[in-house]
Homo-oligomer: A and B are copies of this chain.
Amino acid sequence: MTFAIRNERLTDEEFFKIRNEEVLPQWETGKAIANLEENIAIAKELTQGKNYALTLAEHKKNGTNVFEPQFGRALTEYMIEGITYVEENSDMYPDGVWTLFSDTYTRKGDFKKAAAGIERSKQEGMNMLNGWPVVCFGVEEARKITKAAKCPLNLNSADEDARLQTEIVFAAGWNGGNNNPIMTAVAHSKNIPMDKLLKIKQYDARLGGIYTENGVPICPHNASNLSGYDAPAMRSYTNVVQVLLAAEQGIKYSHVMHGLGMNMIQDTAMGRVTEKLCNEYCERFGYKDMTFIIGGYPFLGAWPPRLEEAHAMIAWNALIDIMGGFTNIVLKCEDEAFGTPSKEGMAHSVRLARHLVTLLGDQKVADSDRLRLEEKMIEMEARAILDKTIEAGDGDIALGLCKAIEAGWFDTMVSPWSHVKGKVEYIRDAENAVRYFNYGNVPIPKEAREYNEEKLKEREKKIGKKLTFDYVVSDLQYASILPVPKPFKK
């Protein structure tokens, strides 16, 4: 197959053509943001002292942690109420930033259904959407939220076409957004081909570049949660490729947000390898003055449906971030198994995580042979896929990515997206680190395979059984199924 995509900066002409012909006309609220210069001026004004990118960079420089709760509700009043509640009840300011998410109807471009969801929410007196419908509400409502919040804002709009959402929230002074085409495709898409998706994502990135060049630094989420169950090398690969794609469009800051697998050593190693490779590959491609803020996104697999087990998850994920030397601690909450986070749940999570930071002081995972070995393997694997990608793209990372997916060098296990091979299979080892059960076409080097086999053997020894595909399936729920009280077992 041939792919009509290159990792090249959109020209102003291209950008504004897309803007005026494809993006702004998508919905009536596009009109209010027609003047980009004015948008930037207002955004600058609104985010004095609370720019998302600068706040993250400042904490990274100081070696301190940032707390990032998440929130999304159908109506603006619910949004403001929730944000205010958490900020007042958790002491998150000035060490916190927000991820606010839009609803899935909006993300899928079905603004009519989103509008119906707003109406339905008003009728029922309840939140009937899984996020805030950015496009239906438009820039003025978004600015109300900006003004109500003490902490900087970021939008999670992960799906195929978020361009109008991005335009609106950037104009409202939210200085982060999604820039993760791989993540988006793997987790949210069904059919869109990668080259088409990359074209769309170049727009978001270029828009961020323009804001950045005009004094409003933008720091997109560069997420690698993927399907929730993926090898660390696949996540590092994802982060590095996404950085290169964004950097080309003028993005200078990246919240390199790793999906955690919940093995502390493996996740720590992943964060270190990614940062190293981000620096190295940006240098190689000539992207200067980049700032990477390493963050952790709590395990994106099934969560337990009970308070205390959820607290264990919140604590362990936050601890991996803290001990692993990550700056950003993205937070889920005790509601995870039931619904989008409530304000109370999020306030609780911030408090819990903040107290862990207090308790730990400067404690970090100590340097060790074990850690270095894990880093070595992840680096070896990530490099193998990266280098094949670049080679296949003849030096172009966008083209290479399309080919890597086609070839199954990049792959994931349980994705709704029809374009990944879905041949790779993951399983946990005795220490619950994520390992390959089936390599699919992923070009894992021999040494790394041997290490992988060794780790699988450890688990087989522990359980006294051969690992089969049944374990692949049951491992998906290892963190969510509550123990059945023993006296009632046969």
Residues on A lying within 8 angstroms of B by beta carbon are 88, 91, 93-94, 150, 262-265, 304, 306-309, 311-313, 315-316, 319, 348-349, 351-356, 358-363, 365-371, 428-432, 458, 462, 478-479, 483-487
> Other than the known A312-B351, A367-B370, what 18 A-B pairs have Cβ atoms closer than 8 Å?
A88-B485, A91-B483, A91-B486, A150-B487, A265-B366, A304-B355, A308-B349, A308-B351, A308-B352, A309-B352, A309-B355, A315-B356, A355-B479, A359-B479, A361-B430, A362-B430, A365-B366, A367-B369
Neighbouring B residues of A94 by C-beta, 8 Å? 486
Neighbouring B residues of A308 by C-beta, 8 Å? 348-349, 351-352, 355
Main secondary structure of the interface of A (DSSP, over half): helix
Neighbouring B residues of A462 by C-beta, 8 Å? 362
22 CB-based A-B contacts, threshold 8 Å: A88-B485, A91-B484, A93-B486, A262-B359, A265-B363, A265-B366, A308-B352, A309-B352, A312-B315, A312-B352, A312-B356, A312-B359, A315-B356, A316-B319, A355-B479, A361-B429, A361-B432, A362-B462, A363-B431, A366-B366, A367-B368, A368-B370
List the 5 shortest-distance A-B pairs measured between CB atoms, nearest first.
A315-B315, A368-B368, A361-B432, A308-B351, A312-B355
Q: Is the CB of A91 within 8 A of B485?
A: yes
A319 to B322: give the CA distance in the assembly, Å. 14
- Distance of A55 from chain B, by nearest CB (Å): 14
- Distance of A364 from chain B, by nearest CB (Å): 8
Closest-by-CB residue of B relative to A309 is B355
Q: A352-B312, A485-B91 in contact; A363/B304 too (CB < 8 A)?
A: no
Closest-by-CB residue of B relative to A349 is B308
Q: Is the CB of A366 within 8 A of B361?
A: no
Q: A93-B486, A319-B319, A348-B308 in contact; A432/B360 too (CB < 8 A)?
A: yes
Q: Is the CB of B361 within 8 A of A431?
A: yes
A369 to B359: give the CA distance in the assembly, Å. 23
Q: Is the CB of A487 within 8 A of B93?
A: yes
A277 to B264: give the CA distance in the assembly, Å. 30
Neighbouring B residues of A432 by C-beta, 8 Å? 359-363
Closest-by-CB residue of B relative to A310 is B355
Neighbouring B residues of A370 by C-beta, 8 Å? 366-368
A486 to B311: give the CA distance in the assembly, Å. 25
Q: Is the CB of A361 within 8 A of B428?
A: yes
Neighbouring B residues of A479 by C-beta, 8 Å? 355, 358-359
